[in-house]
Structure 1
Amino acid sequence: MGGRIAMTGQLQVTRQLTERPPASHGAINITDINIRTLFRTEVLSIQDVRCLGSVVGRSDEEWPAGYEIVFPRAGTFVRHGADGVHVADATQVLFFHPGQSYEIAHPVHGGDRCTVFELSRSVLVEVLGSHDPDVDELQERPFRTGSALVDARQRLAQHRLLRLVEDGWLGDPIELEESVLKHIDLAVTNAYARDGRAIGEAKRETRHAHAELASDVKLYLGERMADRIRLSEVASAVGSSPYHMCRIFKRQAGLPIHRYLRRLRLLHALDRLSDDPNELLTRTALDVGFSSHAHMSTAFRAEFGTTFAEVRRGMTGRRMREMRKIVEA
């Protein structure tokens, strides 16, 4: 979703990413982005957005046209905006307000792919109202947070839903709209639960430093996802002690580092299999950082409560019973 920061062997941390490069580095080539509309009604729309990430540096300012809830599927990028710096990867969901400017950078090579849900304001306010009684007072900025962790089971259910949409939706549009709204509600529930969690009376500077540290760890994991990563290496790269890093990351991200890395690898594998159902599992496992097909399969069942084989069978047909599983999940 925008430009790219050139990486060296040493991680460029978030503090450096916040320094804007010369304007000549910013512009996005329109050929860099591919947007495909999968579904649209007066209530909501679903888009598949792919960005090559070929621009060096941060993008020029961009402004969403509507209220967008964005689920990254592959790749890592960084959003810089008035609400801070957010590292986006397949474990996250991002929230965008219409007209609120932001800039994008791709510190990890490879671009990104996202699913973008856009809601009408009236529907969005209704969804948020069940979690935030003051939403009506927030006018054009109803989201209270810019990003949040996505529940693993919800992520898998969303994957199944998108497969049905991408294959060509055969059911009643109202069924799809209802399913999408349920996914959005779950994402908001998780986001507001974390946003409202007590974090003590730490100074603002300390909270900023903790958020920055967690972002740096995410960038490191995204760049070296396929490697055998040791805790000491990550801590050294982000300038922290292993203990402090582990404690702060779990508090900020909602997961310990090893769980976060495992989920990131699995979601990248899931996206590859979505693009090519005939992809070899062993090759995929090794490419995303698992030691073997069996290692990845065991991790997948532990994370999602099902197997790759069961998910792949769901990719081969346009069966409405898959939709019922999603609605009932």
Structure 2
Amino acid sequence: MAQQRILLVADPRWRVERVRSHATAPQWSPVYTAPSGRLVLPFDAAAMEFRGDDGHGAWIDALTALRVAPAQRYQLRPQAREPRCSVVVSATDGVADAPWTGDGAQRLLSPRALYRLRLHWRRLEAGLDAVEATPQLIAEALAAGGTAHSEGAVGRARRCLAAEAVDGRALSLHELAEAASSSPFHLARSFRRRTGLSPHQYRLHLRLAAALAQLDAGERDLAGLAHALGFCSQSHLGALFLREVGMTPGEARRALHAA
């Protein structure tokens, strides 16, 4: 899978890179090997499957952080033929006290955590933040999030919710349950138990993650952005953004571009 890597910062303990994978067909990649412990953090709305040679699998969407263990062999399969951008934090050999080392694990990131990390990446690249702040920000983001469950009905529902952005339609709970081979009642209950969110809340968090990516890219048409993401109005997007991120979309864009 062809990639473009931009080094944001490096020190003797770890390195932070923004990695852009070029658009490829939705098929399994060759087998890769992680030379050290690393954490893969979302940077855009593209999604993909992760498959380890130990049988461990994961669904990686715009809310999912994936921790990869040292020497882990794995493959990737994109959801659609589109480029994907991630931030990869890699530990230097022998570093064992960083929050991304250890066994592989998946965690969900809240919209607020995604915003704080985006702002940090920008400030790192501009030389305004110290790399010493990175572990604490990552640890807080991982601790505050739920489990990114990828198996069974919940995993199938997460894949369907991510596909909504590609398909351009929102499934009802009954349609989502049918697609996930579950009943509406069982899916709603198990989804919240596994992720800490209802399916609709998860959908809204995915939309906010996409909004953050667009604002970071310089989007200024908030009404058009709200419509493109499936919100009924700009005010609906603004109210949800304020509640979940702690500021308005315009304030977030200005802060990101001031860094």
**8 Å Cα contact 1:148-1:190 kept in structure 2:** no
Percentage identity across paired residues of the two chains: 23
- Counterpart pick for 1:181 among 135, 140, 149: 135
How far did 1:108 drift? 3.7
C-alpha distance after superposition, 1:78-126 (max 9, x if no partner) = 1011252211112111001232111111124433211111123544x22
**Normalising to structure 1: TM-score of the pair?**
0.71
2:75 alignment counterpart: 103
Residues 183 and 83 of structure 1, relative CA distance in 2, 3 Å threshold: farther
For 1:187 and 1:110, locate their aligned partners in 2 and report how far apart those are by CA, in whole Å: 27
Q: Judge which range, 69-78 or 146-155, deviates more.
A: 146-155
**8 Å Cα contact 1:45-1:119 kept in structure 2:** yes
How far did 1:260 drift? 0.9
The 3-state SS of whatever aligns with 1:298 is helix
The 3-state SS of whatever aligns with 1:267 is helix
**8 Å Cα contact 2:67-2:101 kept in structure 1:** no
For 2:118 and 2:236, locate their aligned partners in 1 and report how far apart those are by CA, in whole Å: 21
Q: Tell me, yes or no, if structure 1 residue 218 matches structure 2 residue 158.
A: yes
Residues 278 and 147 of structure 1, relative CA distance in 2, 3 Å threshold: closer
Following TM superposition, the consecutive aligned residue runs of length 4 or more in structure 1 with deviations greater than 6 angstroms are none
Aligned-residue RMSD, C-alpha? 2.4
For 1:108 and 1:244, locate their aligned partners in 2 and report how far apart those are by CA, in whole Å: 29
**8 Å Cα contact 2:153-2:180 kept in structure 1:** yes
- Counterpart pick for 2:112 among 137, 153, 166: 153
Unmatched 5+ stretches in structure 2 = none
Alignment size in residue pairs? 255
For 1:180 and 1:87, locate their aligned partners in 2 and report how far apart those are by CA, in whole Å: 25
1:292 alignment counterpart: 233
1:52 alignment counterpart: 22
Higher-Rg structure is 1
- Counterpart pick for 1:66 among 25, 32, 36: 36
**8 Å Cα contact 1:70-1:116 kept in structure 2:** yes
How far did 1:227 drift? 2.1
How far did 1:56 drift? 3.7
Residues 122 and 211 of structure 1, relative CA distance in 2, 3 Å threshold: same
Map 1:129-144 onto structure 2 (within 5 A): 143-144=102-103
The 3-state SS of whatever aligns with 1:126 is coil
The 3-state SS of whatever aligns with 2:179 is helix
Q: Whose helix fraction is larger, Structure 1's or Structure 2's?
A: 1
Residues 83 and 250 of structure 1, relative CA distance in 2, 3 Å threshold: farther
Q: Judge which range, 299-308 or 221-230, deviates more.
A: 221-230
For 2:187 and 2:142, locate their aligned partners in 1 and report how far apart those are by CA, in whole Å: 27
Q: Tell me, yes or no, if structure 1 residue 261 matches structure 2 residue 203.
A: yes
